[in-house]
Structure formats: structure tokens, C-alpha cells
Amino acid sequence: MIGQRTGSTAPCFDSASLYGTADGGVLGNETPLSIAIRRWFARHPAAARQLFGESRLPTLVQYDPVSRFFETQEGTLVVSGENSVPLLRYHIADKGGLIRFDEMRAFLESQGVKALNQLDLPNDFQPRELPFVYVFGRADFTVSYYGANIYPENVSVGLEYPDIMGWVTGKFVLETRESGDGDKILHIAVELLPGMAANETMAPMIAESIRKELLRLNSEFAHYTPTERQMPQVSLHAFADPEYFPAGVKHRYTRK
């Protein structure tokens, strides 16, 4: 979404996200290779579930094991590194895991990806053979709905369609409510762009887009949620709405 708005023409090379903590600094970063691989997984959700074990798509970065050493403990990340205050098996508590470079290459080859141009990279591109760390974030940033874990990452994809991007900032709040009859409702509050006024066509279009992506990406939602309860209830809110999107406050994508 941001790349389209900034006019990016080479998404694997124009920007990169960093993964880090206040205590440990930068622990890893996106590379053209990791970006290309993650974009491929976004187009192949079944392969992503097979490798990462979940229906949501994690952040994927590479790291230098000379300066940072990652381990996993019960599905969460632990890091050691040389800082001004050295870290020794520092428990980050982010849910995630590690994949060696050769393991990632072997998995992609097993999925039919034999050449870099299949990842939208030039064939003469020379990737650094560094290990990968994937990060889901804190495990409690989910909402349970009819036994299915609903992740913000699944919802955000539904807001990235070209028509919808012209209306919204990308911020939302995901929560479950209960109707007067005791039925569960999946409610999503969505922030509009500055100066954008809601009209009657927006909320139904956004709700259908989110439902479509939940069914595509989240197998739990597809199998556990009754068909008549799969359409989310979407409410539209002005930019910086104080109830859901207050200015100057770190945004939380779920509410319980």
C-alpha cells in the first residue's frame, strides 16, 4: 500500500523494514531477497502455511550471525548480541522462528521456484547467503471468533485493494462483539483518510474485501466460522477519531 502511494516501481529495492528492539538495536533487516520471497509467499498462502505453520504471513528478514545469534524457545525468539550492554539469550517474546539460507532455498525449489526471476528478481542478482528470521509479533495480538484466531495481518490485506486504498489510512481496530441475541459479531473499525467522508457504498465493499481475504488466507476462519457469520461488521471513522484512532498514541490493531 505504501509503495503504491509513493510511486515505487521496484518494491524489492526501494525500501526495507528493520527488525529490532529498544534494548538490542537493529537485529535484522529486510533485503531484496527476503522482500521478494515474502511477496511470493503472499501469492501462495498454502506454501506459507506449510513453512511458517500459520495462516498469517510473518515479517521475514535476514540477519548476520556474526553480530547477532538467534535461538527459539517454545516458539518465541531469543537473541544474543554484542551491544554496549551485551545481550545474552535475551528473550524478546516475539513469536517466530529461524530458517537457514539453504533450507529456504530447498523449500522454494520444492515449490517449483528454481530461478530468481520467478521471485521478480534479476537473474544476475547476487543474494547474501544469510539466515532468515521470521516474526509474527506478540502472540496476544489476535481475536478469537468461533474458535478461529483472527490476525490483524489477514485483515490488512483486505484494505489494500486499489479502490479501497483511496479511502482509508490502513489503520483499523479488530474486535468481537455480541448481538442482542447472543450471537458473535466480528467488528472492524476502519480509519478514513483526512477529509474523506463516508458514503453508503464504502462499508459493504470493505467488509466483502476483508471477508474474501480471510477466507483465502485463514483456514481456521474458513472452516470454523459459520457461513452466515463470515461477513464482518465494518464501521468507518474519521481520521484521528478519538475513540479508535487517537492522535499521538501508539496504535493497537485489536481490542478485547
Q: What are the domain boundaries of the chain?
A: 2-137, 143-237
> What number is the average pLDDT over the span 19-43?
90
Whether residue 22 has pLDDT greater than 90: no
CA atoms within 13 Å, Cβ hemisphere of 113: 20
129: how many CB neighbours lie within 10 A of its CB? 12
The string of pLDDT tens digits covering residues 75-116 is 899 999 877 677 888 888 788 999 999 999 999 999 999 998
Q: Is 125 exposed, middle or buried (0-12, 13-18, 19+ CB in 10 A)?
A: middle
Tell me what pLDDT residue 140 has: 60
Q: How confident is the model at residue 221 (pLDDT cuts 50, 70, 90)?
A: very high
Tell me what pLDDT residue 5 has: 67
Give the alpha-carbon dihedral of 29, 35, 37, 41, to 10 degrees.
110
Tell me what pLDDT residue 103 has: 97
* pTM passes above 0.85: no
Q: Which CATH number fits domain 143-237: 3.30.565.10, 3.40.50.1100, 3.40.50.720, 3.30.300.30?
A: 3.30.300.30
Choice between 31 and 26, residue whose per-residue pLDDT is larger:
31
